[in-house]
Every structure is written in C-alpha cells, then in structure tokens.
C-alpha cells in the first residue's frame, strides 16, 4: 500500500481541506462541498471516493430537505 505524502507548509497553514463535487438533480447538476479534517487535498479526495455511496446519500438527503447554503449543499465530516 502506498503511503500518502506529508502535508506541505501551505496545506498545514490552510488547515482542514474541502472537496467539491456534483450530483445529478434531474437534468441539472447540484454543486456540493465536503468539509473534511484531512490536512491534504489528496487525503480528502481519497476519503470522498472511498465513501462515495454514503456521501452521495447524505447529499441527496440534504437536497430533498432543501438545506442549501449559497446554492450549494454543504456537508461536514465530524
């Protein structure tokens, strides 16, 4: 298994990373943002891909409930 790279100075100063993605909403696309606790973008993206089914369900539930912030669905990793 490959080790993930250590965070750069910039990533450390930026703090936790966010990952943007989209889900289909009928014929349109809905923008989503996942706030993670990971220090690097690569780790955050890997988490998104590994847990895609769960995160997509959470995004669809938020869309159905109408909980949009600034036109986007915002999810946070707790």
Q: What is the pLDDT of residues 35-74, one digit of tens each?
A: 999 988 889 999 999 999 999 999 999 999 999 999 999 9
70, burial (CB in 10 Å: exposed 0-12, middle 13-18, buried 19+) = exposed
What pTM did the predictor assign?
Answer: 0.79
Domain residue spans of the chain: 15-76
Contacts of 48 (CB under 8 A, 6+ apart): 19, 21, 34, 55
- What span, in angstroms and rounded, lies between the C-alpha atoms of 69 and 2? 37
- What b/e readout covers 45-54, taking b as 16+ CB neighbours within 10 angstroms? bebbeeeeee
């Amino acid at each position: 298994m490959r080790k993930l790279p250590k965070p750069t100075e910039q990533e450390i100063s930026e703090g936790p990373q966010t990952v943007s993605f989209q889900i289909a909403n009928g014929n349109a696309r809905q923008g989503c943002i996942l706030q993670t606790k990971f220090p690097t973008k690569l780790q955050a993206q890997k988490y998104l891909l590994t847990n895609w089914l769960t995160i997509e369900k959470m995004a669809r539930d938020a869309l159905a409930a109408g909980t949009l912030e600034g036109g986007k669905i915002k999810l946070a990793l707790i």
